[in-house]
Structure 1
Amino acid sequence: MSGLLVVTAVPAEAEAIRAGLTDATVTVTPVGVGPAIAGAATARLLALAEAAGRPYRAVVSAGVAGGFTGRVEVGDAVLGTASVAADLGAESPDGFIPIDELGMPPTLLGVGSALPADPGLLATLRAALPAAPTGPVLTVSTVTGTTTSTDELRRRHPEAVAEAMEGYGVAVAAAQAGLPFAELRTISNPIGPRDRDAWRLREALTALTAAAPALR
């Protein structure tokens, strides 16, 4: 049996995590940006490992993210209590309708648009990162970039701490394989009006390296 599979979106995130790891049983793999490619690539990695007789024990989606001001700070490591498909649903004159309320379950597993982190895996990560804020991490296909959309997300997800683009897809792949899942993010920018000059990617990647030992 293999150890932990850590999935990132881009190589820079994977390199930052590897820089802080000493555990050879942890596999860190960049798979691409967005929930569709992340879910498909993770499912393939899990299937190949199982076919080779070396199945993984658990899956973590990791990388940088935007954070909700007032809940987290730039440079924080955060742990997702759930990965939420925040823009999966329908628009209506009365506002956004989540997929759960449309009578269309988003996966054949019958799970909804929010997949909780595995309690045991989350507890292990929290013990290693006791200062890390916790809460739902939103998965979006379009990065939030206006005050209006930020306020709408806050209203719909009052406990959310961050948004990224892969967690829900990776979580679905892990659930299909029957494996524990968790999400670890470090904050590079506040969610709100798009301002690339305000992003602190270097600080977030450094924080990812510092958090990597929790993945042992």
Structure 2
Amino acid sequence: MLIIIAAVPLETNLLRQELKDSRTEQLGSCCIEIGTIYDQDVLIAHSGVGQTAMSLQLTRLLERYPAKAVLLCGCGGSYPDSTLRNGELAIATAEFFGDLGVSCEEDFIHLSELEIPQNPELELIVQRSYLLPSPLVEHARKTLPQALCGTFVTVNSCSGCAALSNELQQRSGGICENMEGAAAAQVCAEYNLPLLELRGISNPTGSRDPQQWNIPLGAEAAQQGLLEILRHWPEKQEESCNS
């Protein structure tokens, strides 16, 4: 089946309304819903906000349920040079760990560049970023030509000021910011599964002005985009996900 995961239920409201022949199951402390959307077998779950929550819940899901792909849906904050506005769509072609490392006065050293001893037999080697090339991402590009494709940046501390927003944008070349995507990309890489991450813009980064934020609009845009992808899911895509 397709695993659809979002941080919070607001980001799946529309998807769950389209769910047919649904049933609920309990997974740990979370309730998940299983059914079909446009004849595709799907499981809808919520991770909670942040990288740790996403890693924990997605790993639980993949250990219990057979999956052919993971679809991550949610809101995101746009970087200044992206030209993205609230309510517009973005598709991830890569995920970047934005603040995993050491902040210095004039520089930032990513964890992958620190001389910390690592044992590949005991833990995953730290990567700065994960590329997300797959037939699934190409299908999304073609189905949603209005969406902007590029690198997403995952952070623990969102960019609430212009200086941090500009710094992260320059460091990563990213188009939008979120709090879960890179963790999902790392888990999917471990399980050798394709990941499609689709986000609707809810705010510009660098500002805490409530008049510039519209989380429901961003959540709705991402879900409408994902529904369009599922509506036009081709048979050959099914084969690509199973290979």
> Same fold by TM-score, threshold 0.5 exceeded?
yes
Residue 163 of structure 1: which of 177, 189, 202 is its match?
A: 177
Give the match for residue 205 of structure 1.
219
How much does 1:121 deviate? 1.6
How much does 1:86 deviate? 0.5
Does the alignment pair 1:178 with 2:192? yes
Residue 111 of structure 2: which of 99, 102, 107 is its match?
A: 99
- Paired residues in the alignment total 208
How much does 1:29 deviate? 1.0
Does the alignment pair 1:195 with 2:209? yes
Give the match for residue 25 of structure 2.
none
Residue 62 of structure 1: which of 56, 63, 73 is its match?
A: 73
Does the alignment pair 1:31 with 2:47? yes
Q: Helix, strand or coil for the counterpart of 1:110? A: coil
Higher relative contact order (CA 8 A, sep 6+): 1
Q: Which amino acid aligns with 1:161?
A: I
Q: Distance in 2 between matches of 1:139 and 1:193?
A: 17
8 A contact 2:96–2:153 mirrored in 1: yes
Q: Helix, strand or coil for the counterpart of 2:12? A: helix
Q: Helix, strand or coil for the counterpart of 1:46? A: helix
Residue 142 of structure 1: which of 157, 181, 203 is its match?
A: 157
TM superposition score normalised by structure 1 = 0.88
Q: Distance in 2 between matches of 1:103 and 1:120?
A: 36
8 A contact 1:4–1:27 mirrored in 2: yes
Q: Which amino acid aligns with 2:56?
A: A
Q: Name the CA shift for 1:82/1:195 in 2 (closer, same or farther; >3 Å).
A: same
Q: Name the CA shift for 1:35/1:9 in 2 (closer, same or farther; >3 Å).
A: same
Q: Which amino acid aligns with 1:86?
A: G
Does the alignment pair 1:5 with 2:19? no
8 A contact 1:17–1:208 mirrored in 2: no
How much does 1:182 deviate? 2.2
Give the match for residue 141 of structure 2.
126
Q: Distance in 1 between matches of 2:197 and 2:44?
A: 14
Q: CA RMSD in A?
A: 2.0
Q: Name the CA shift for 1:38/1:106 in 2 (closer, same or farther; >3 Å).
A: farther
How much does 1:118 deviate? 3.3
Q: Name the CA shift for 1:150/1:106 in 2 (closer, same or farther; >3 Å).
A: farther
8 A contact 1:4–1:25 mirrored in 2: yes
How much does 1:146 deviate? 0.5
Q: Distance in 1 between matches of 2:167 and 2:208?
A: 16
Residue 86 of structure 2: which of 74, 85, 88 is its match?
A: 74
How much does 1:98 deviate? 1.1
Q: Distance in 1 between matches of 2:129 and 2:49?
A: 19
How much does 1:94 deviate? 3.4
Q: Name the CA shift for 1:106/1:185 in 2 (closer, same or farther; >3 Å).
A: farther
Give the match for residue 28 of structure 2.
none
1:131-157 Cα shifts (integer Å, max 9, x gaps):
110110000111110011011112212
Identity of aligned residues (%): 31
Q: Distance in 1 between matches of 2:73 and 2:94?
A: 13
Give the match for residue 52 of structure 1.
none
Q: Distance in 1 between matches of 2:205 and 2:8?
A: 20
